[in-house]
Amino acid sequence: MNSRNAIPCAAIQQQCGADREANLAATAELIEQAAGRGARLVVLQELHGTPYFCQTEDVAVFDLAEPVPGPTTSLLGELAAQHDIVIVGSVFERRLSGVYHNTAVVLDSDGSLAGRYRKMHIPDDPGFYEKFYFTPGDGSPESFRPIETSVGHLGVLVCWDQWYPEAARLMALAGAEVLIYPTAIGWDPNDDAGEQARQLDAWVTVQRSHAIANNLPVIAANRHGHEDAPSGDGPGIDFWGHSFICGPQGEFLARADGQGDQVLLATIDPARTESVRRIWPYLRDRRVDAYSELTRRVRD
**Catalytic residue positions?**
46, 119, 159
Exposed / middle / buried, residue 132 (Cβ in 10 Å: 0-12, 13-18, 19+) = middle
Distance CA 241, CA 13 (A): 7
> What sign does the dihedral 187-193-195-201 (CA atoms) show?
positive
Exposed / middle / buried, residue 201 (Cβ in 10 Å: 0-12, 13-18, 19+) = exposed
Size (the chain), residues? 300
Neighbour count for residue 112 (Cβ, 10 Å) = 16
Distance CA 172, CA 170 (A): 5
End-to-end Cα, the chain, rounded Å: 50
